[in-house]
């Protein structure tokens, strides 16, 4: 069965599901794609490195 | 729109080409190929050096060319070609002029100038720090500056891609959602922004350090942020070459994705999770917690791996569906047997898909597992793995699409079509060889980035097992084969551009064929059973599971617990 949900050509706004609106917004995706690795990889990693105690000789 | 730009419709393919975008695609792709030629030649010399009995380069040249090979092949070739892919996927596929072409040209020239500066510095011999340039090894300041200039250029190009998306939306040149190939290119562009930003964060201080303005760069801090660039840049490649798989399936077979939604979700997994896997380069670093390592490499990465497995299933699946519609319905595999194996666009792409999955994908997950990583960390297994991803995967795919694009862009017929038919097989076999044999040697403990297989001047002698030297010899032979295949590609491309038979201008009289709708629009193939692909997927999963457990077994033997 093929869903024909995009034939609302009669001018009025069809209801676009949330997920699709997200997928259709390149700049939102850009934001998420930059924030995710910045938080989980860079910030978390850098915090761990920064809290390593300095060796005392 | 205030600016009217020239454009044309390709008489054979029906593709739209904005004048400026077309020129930029040509220049970026051709420049990339030149660097591939240089980088590939260095690769062959290194493979011959690591062949114990041949060992042709002296030590300093080995490390010098190792640096140049990594930079030119991995970074310069691939990113130039990716710029071409971004312009193609935005301007051509969305049928809109390129936004800010002057900026795109600025980006091109910055990339070229940066690449040349860094190459000159490496070839002068005082910057043999390898492309990772870990401190405290210090290169000439211009080495870092060249990379930074290159990256700025690439960032400008990436923003021209985003600008073109905006333009297409404003001018309503497409309906509904972005076509899948463009969405894949968007994924690549998003990852590129993070990649380049990370590069700037780490390379600017390193430049200042090499100039003497900063006293100290912490090596672990450097490695962590550097790999946010180094690894993510590989994910730009994956997104770009997967997009091209879909593009080639559409061009050759008129194939539509089995389910557009599922494929789009797979790209979304890439955007969310792929970049976290940068942590697999740091699995043996003390100082980073296991929580950080495991979350980043495995917990989230497996979702990205899932994304790749979805693409690996839906690309052949969509081809199978399209072929079955045409009546190739006998048995499980008639659709595959009757595919155009003599067409380098298809053969290159399909080999790339298989090798990327079986050789590159499986081994990547193995190495990304914290415990198992220790058995092959910093061995030749690592270059073995990534030659399967970045050479068999990305490079072979880019070669395949070039066989389609170059004749279309330059309006010439392919030069030496007989050689072109064989080239993907020669190159594919060679690359499969270097990746398998480097991995084999690595499994026996042979280290990567190491000139002296015999440890001739070590105080305490050490010998690799005899089999390791045999694998290194086989690697050398495969390197020669890959070199032959790579050189053939460059010869065919340059020959086509210079001496290929000019195609007549049919445009005026005959109407152009309608462009392949699968390329320009979102949409799925509808429900068609694809049993052949399903069997292939089961074989893949079986190999995956088997190999995974084999490696745990190895691990237990390393620790003498068995
Ligand atoms: C003719 C084809 C090629 C051959 C024979 C070849 C061979 C080699 C060899 C022998 C090494 C050194 C391994 C070691 O001692 O550590 C190497 C490293 C490497 N290759 Fe290739 N290669 C080829 C093509 C490529 C391409 C097309 C790419 C990228 C798209 C690439 C990316 C790299 C990278 C990133 C390294 C690591 C450099 C480093 O450790 O700093 N190679 N290659
Ligand atoms: Cu990586």
Identify whether residues B31 and B118 lie together within a single domain. Answer: yes
Mean pLDDT over B428-440 rounds to: 97
Asked which of B198, B214, B230 is the last residue of a domain, the reply is B230
Tens of pLDDT along B199-257? Answer: 989 999 999 999 999 999 999 999 999 999 999 999 999 999 999 999 999 999 988 88
Identify whether residues B207 and B352 lie together within a single domain. Answer: no
Q: What is the DSSP letter of B502?
A: B
Identify whether residues B430 and B522 lie together within a single domain. Answer: yes
Helix (H) or strand (E) holding B16: strand B16-18
Q: Does A39 touch chain B (CB under 8 A)?
A: no
- Residue B128 vs residues B123, B206, B221, B496: alpha-carbon distances, Å: 9, 15, 21, 36
Structural domain contains residue A38: yes
Examine residue B136 and say whether the peptide bond preceding it is cis (omega within 30 degrees of 0).
Answer: yes
Structural domain contains residue A2: no
Q: Count how many domains chain B has.
A: 2
Structural domain contains residue B364: yes
Q: Count how many domains chain A has.
A: 1
Identify whether residues B183 and B283 lie together within a single domain. Answer: no
Residues B444, B467 contacting (CB under 8 angstroms): yes
Structural domain contains residue A37: yes
Structural domain contains residue A57: yes
Identify whether residues B302 and B207 lie together within a single domain. Answer: no
Distance from Cα B231 to the centre of ligand 2, integer Å: 4
Asked which of B196, B230, B264 is the last residue of a domain, the reply is B230
Residue nearest to atom 3 of ligand 1 (CA): B43
Share of chain B above pLDDT 70, in %: 94
Containing structural domain, residue A26: 17-57
Question: In chain A, whose CA is at the least distance from the CA of B289?
Answer: A48
Which position has the token pair 């305490």? B460
Identify whether residues B460 and B342 lie together within a single domain. Answer: yes
Mean pLDDT over B7-15 rounds to: 88
Asked whether the beta carbons of residue A26 and residue B218 sit closer than 8 angstroms, the reply is: no
Q: Which residues contact B93 (CB under 8 A, 6 or more apart)?
A: B179, B181, B182, B519, B520
pLDDT at B517: 63
Identify whether residues B154 and B301 lie together within a single domain. Answer: no
Tens of pLDDT along B19-37? Answer: 999 999 999 999 999 999 9
When pLDDT is cut at 50, 70 and 90, the band that residue B506 belongs to is low
Q: How many Å lie between the alpha carbon of B87 and the closest alpha carbon of chain A?
A: 16
Structural domain contains residue B8: no
Identify whether residues B469 and B548 lie together within a single domain. Answer: yes
Residues B219, B136 contacting (CB under 8 angstroms): yes
Identify whether residues B151 and B299 lie together within a single domain. Answer: no
Q: Residue A30 is nearest to which of B176, B190, B279, comparing CB atoms?
A: B190
How much is the mean pLDDT over chain B? 91
- HSE, side-chain direction, 13 A CA sphere, residue B161: 32
What is this structure's pTM? 0.93
Q: At what angle do helices B260-273 and B301-325 cross, to 10 degrees?
A: 160
Asked whether the beta carbons of residue A20 and residue B278 sit closer than 8 angstroms, the reply is: no
Neighbours of B45 (CB within 10 A): 18
Distance from Cα B37 to the centre of ligand 2, integer Å: 24
Q: Does A8 touch chain B (CB under 8 A)?
A: no
Ion ligand 2: residues, Cβ under 5 Å: B 231
Residue B508 scores a pLDDT above 50? no
Identify whether residues B471 and B328 lie together within a single domain. Answer: yes
Mean pLDDT over A18-23 rounds to: 84
Structural domain contains residue A45: yes
Ligand 1 pocket test: pick from B69, B240, B431, B446 the residue with the most ligand atoms within 8 Å of its Cβ. B69
Q: How many Å lie between the alpha carbon of B366 and the closest alpha carbon of chain A?
A: 20
Tens of pLDDT along B135-191? Answer: 999 999 999 999 999 999 999 999 999 999 999 999 999 888 899 999 999 999 999
Identify whether residues B205 and B351 lie together within a single domain. Answer: no
On chain B, the residues whose CB falls within 8 A of the CB of A38 are 194
B528-533: list long-range contacts, CB under 8 Å, 24+ apart.
B528/B258, B528/B321, B528/B324, B528/B325, B530/B258, B530/B316, B530/B317, B530/B320, B530/B321, B530/B324, B531/B332, B532/B316, B532/B320, B532/B332, B532/B333, B532/B335, B532/B336, B533/B313, B533/B316, B533/B317, B533/B320
Distance from Cα B434 to the centre of ligand 1, integer Å: 9
Asked whether the beta carbons of residue A37 and residue B197 sit closer than 8 angstroms, the reply is: no
Residues with CB under 6 A from ligand 1: B 40, 43-44, 46-47, 50, 66, 69-70, 73-74, 78, 130-131, 383, 387, 390-391, 395, 434, 448-449, 479, 482-483, 486
Residue B519 scores a pLDDT above 80? no
Q: Does A34 touch chain B (CB under 8 A)?
A: yes
Containing structural domain, residue B209: 18-230
């Amino acid at each position: 069965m093929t869903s024909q949900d995009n034939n609302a050509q009669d001018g009025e706004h069809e209801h676009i599901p949330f997920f699709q609106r997200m997928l259709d917004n390149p700049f939102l995706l850009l934001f998420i794609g930059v924030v995710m690795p910045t938080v989980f990889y860079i910030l978390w990693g850098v915090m761990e490195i920064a809290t390593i105690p300095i060796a005392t000789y | 729109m205030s600016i009217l730009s020239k454009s044309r419709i390709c008489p054979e393919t029906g593709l739209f080409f904005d004048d400026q975008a077309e020129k930029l695609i040509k220049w970026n792709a051709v420049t990339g190929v030149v660097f591939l030629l240089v980088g590939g030649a260095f690769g062959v010399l290194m493979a011959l050096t690591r062949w114990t009995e041949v060992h042709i380069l002296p030590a300093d040249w080995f490390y010098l060319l190792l640096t140049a090979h990594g930079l030119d092949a991995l970074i310069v070739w691939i990113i130039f070609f990716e710029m071409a892919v971004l312009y193609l996927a935005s301007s051509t596929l969305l049928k809109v002029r390129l936004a800010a072409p002057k900026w795109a040209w600025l980006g091109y020239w910055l990339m070229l100038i940066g690449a040349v500066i860094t190459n000159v510095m490496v070839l002068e011999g005082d910057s043999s720090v390898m492309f990772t340039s870990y401190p405290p090894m210090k290169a000439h300041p211009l080495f870092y500056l060249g990379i930074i200039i290159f990256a700025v250029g690439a960032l400008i190009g990436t923003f021209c891609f985003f600008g073109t998306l905006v333009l297409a939306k404003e001018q309503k040149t497409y309906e509904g959602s972005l076509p899948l190939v463009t969405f894949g290119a968007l994924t690549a562009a998003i990852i590129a922004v993070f990649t380049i930003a990370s590069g700037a964060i780490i390379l600017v201080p390193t430049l200042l350090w090499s100039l003497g303005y900063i006293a100290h760069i912490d090596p672990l801090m450097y490695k962590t942020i550097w790999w946010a660039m180094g690894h993510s840049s590989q994910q730009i490649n994956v997104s770009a070459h997967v997009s091209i798989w879909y593009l080639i399936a559409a061009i050759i077979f008129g194939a539509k994705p089995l389910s557009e939604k599922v494929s789009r979700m797979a790209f979304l997994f890439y955007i969310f999770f792929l970049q976290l896997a940068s942590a697999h380069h740091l699995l043996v670093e003390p100082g980073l917690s296991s929580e950080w390592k495991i979350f980043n490499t495995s917990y989230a990465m497996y979702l990205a791996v899932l994304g790749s497995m979805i693409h690996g299933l839906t690309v052949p699946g969509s081809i199978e569906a399209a072929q079955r519609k045409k009546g190739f319905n006998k048995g499980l595999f008639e659709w595959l047997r009757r595919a155009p194996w003599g067409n380098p666009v298809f053969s290159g792409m399909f080999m790339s898909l298989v090798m990327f999955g079986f050789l590159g994908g499986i081994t990547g997950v193995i190495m990304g597992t914290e415990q198992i990583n220790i058995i092959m960390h910093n061995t030749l297994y690592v270059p073995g793995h990534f030659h399967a991803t970045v050479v068999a995967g990305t490079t072979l795919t880019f070669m395949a699409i070039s066989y389609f694009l170059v004749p279309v862009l330059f309006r010439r017929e392919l030069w030496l079509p007989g050689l072109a038919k064989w080239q993907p097989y020669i190159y594919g076999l060679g690359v499969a060889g270097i990746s398998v044999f480097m991995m084999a040697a690595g499994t026996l403990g042979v280290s990567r980035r190491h000139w002296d297989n015999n440890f001739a001047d070590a105080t305490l002698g050490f010998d690799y097992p005899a089999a390791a030297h045999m694998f290194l010899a086989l690697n050398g032979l495969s390197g020669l084969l890959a070199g032959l295949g790579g050189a053939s590609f460059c010869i065919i491309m340059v020959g086509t551009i210079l001496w290929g038979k000019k195609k007549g201008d049919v445009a005026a009289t005959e109407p152009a064929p309608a462009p392949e709708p699968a390329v320009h629009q979102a949409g799925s193939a509808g429900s068609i059973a694809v049993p052949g692909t399903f069997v292939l997927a089961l074989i893949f999963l079986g190999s995956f599971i088997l190999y995974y457990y084999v490696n745990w077994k190895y691990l237990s033997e390393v620790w003498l617990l068995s």
